[in-house]
Structure 1
């Protein structure tokens, strides 16, 4: 906990910024939080700290809409595989050192930033492809979640390929991130990482995250969505590169 108590301003500012990004774009709170917190603490500790803010904001996003049951019926193979991936990853990654987890986090951020910055045409998959790709995408997302605390890869590109309308996509992201958060919290609690003190700090982090999200929602109609997303992904690219280099140095 020393990494948290030694950097209170960094932690508060991280959740304010991450909440603002989520308020503007509808996603990014766990990704930005873990990325920025990873600058001053090990990724597993950062992952425990984001549990409450991530769960509350993503649960609200996941149930706010009229498509919850339909999306659950469609996404359950992926959601189940995410849980399985987190369980498997939680058994594999606890022995990894700070260098390995920091490198993994950096690579995950680099992959997500590249997916947002590269001029790739969105691909829409058919029902048959969705049926056999969903478990694989869920399992991979669960493994990445267990190792880094980041839920976005490859879940976001997969959901974008389903051809969902904007509101349904935002709601689907909320459902996927909620399940990933709950699975991650259970894995961290089982490993003894998410103890009482860290859980308290995570609950306290909800306040700046909510404030940042409210500001982001106010800011959303007042900024260029395209420019904001470009700045967001460019920042993630730099952050991911820094963390990857830091992880490599620790491994050397």
Structure 2
């Protein structure tokens, strides 16, 4: 077997330089994100991202969260089969996410670290506000595809910059009538395609390597552990109340990211 170039990529050099306390903080962020997802259904990145940026730049945080998102959504994407019919139904947002991630990665790589942190804070505030408001829209049949393309593009930009594509995608799928298992399956497929595009774009630009992917996959373990730990809480805590508290905390953390960036 060929040796893996540990010195390359984005994640390994940065993680290697961190203290044990910082690594523990990263693990805590992933566990907490998994716990929140297990109780409320909110994705891991919305909670973990503000914490991770205390220990690493935004680019590395986005890359670290990529495999936990993929591995967490693949089971839901393939559940019940009917993958091709579902893909045809959501073709417009899928195309939008592919284009949006290519553009978003270029934007993220081009930004200075403090400006990337500022942009990520703004995106997180938008994402949390959208989930707090939970707007329920309806689209005319003629608008479903063009709106899907635009919102898929916007969701991919949010994914590339702050790893939070969920709110825009949720708005679109709810507005097109997706509920229950259909909603879960559709958003899972879009997220998997989105993150694969993100990783491919990172890798093609020599900004990520096999080691980065392995480290990101390892980051899935604390997130999964958090989901497992949260199981007993699901019946004892009202999900809506927990969701509201968490999103308020995310808003506060995102505001801190913006302040810490120094752009203002």
When normalised by structure 1's length, the TM-score is 0.90
Q: Which residue of 1 aligns with 2:184?
A: 170
- Separation in structure 2 between the aligned mates of residue 97 and residue 139 of structure 1, nearest angstrom: 23
Say whether 1:105 aligns with 2:120. yes
Q: Which moved more, 1:32-41 or 1:230-239?
A: 32-41
User: Which aligned pairs between 1:71-150 and structure 2 lie closer than 5 A?
Assistant: 71-118=86-133, 121-150=135-164
Q: Which residue of 1 aligns with 2:234?
A: 220
Change (3 A) 1:226 1:93: closer
Mapped to 2, the partners of 1:190 and 1:150 lie a distance apart of: 22
The answer as to whether partners of 2:92 and 2:146 remain within 8 angstroms in 1 is no
2:244 corresponds to 1:230: yes
Residue aligning to 2:260: 246
- With over 3 angstroms needed to count, the CA separation of the structure-2 counterparts of 1:97 and 1:224, relative to structure 1, is same
- Rounded Cα–Cα distance in structure 2 between residues aligned with 1:80 and 1:121: 24
Pair 1:4-2:38 in alignment: no
Distance 2:42 2:102 in 1: 24
* Cα distance, 1:131 vs structure 2: 1.9
Q: Which residue of 2 aligns with 1:59?
A: 74
Deviation at 1:2, TM superposition (A): 5.2
Match in the other structure for 2:209: 195
Partners of 2:237 and 2:124 lie apart in 1 by 24
Distance change >3 Å, CA 71–CA 218, structure 1 → 2:
farther
Counterpart contact for 2:138–2:176, Cα < 8 Å: yes
Question: What residue number does 1:41 align with?
Answer: 56
Unpaired runs of at least 5, structure 2: 1-11
CA contact (8 A) 1:189 1:195 kept: yes
How far does residue 64 in structure 1 lie from its aligned partner after superposition? 2.2
Q: What's the CA shift for 1:137?
A: 0.8
Partners in 2 of 1:80 and 1:33 — Cα distance? 27
Number of aligned residues = 249
Aligned-residue offset at 1:230: 0.6
Unaligned runs of 5+ in 1: none
Q: 2:33 — aligned with what?
A: 18
Shifted more, 194-203 versus 78-87: the winner is 194-203
Structure 1 residue 196: Cα displacement:
3.4
Q: Deviations over 1:28-80 (max 9, x none)?
A: 11222322211221111011111221111111122224554432121011111
Q: CA deviation at 1:179?
A: 1.2
Q: Tell me the SS of whatever aligns to 1:154.
A: helix
Q: Is the 8 A contact 1:4 1:11 kept in 2?
A: no
1: CA distance, partners of 2:161 / 2:61: 12
Going from structure 1 to structure 2, the CA distance change for 1:235 and 1:68 (only over 3 Å counts) comes to farther
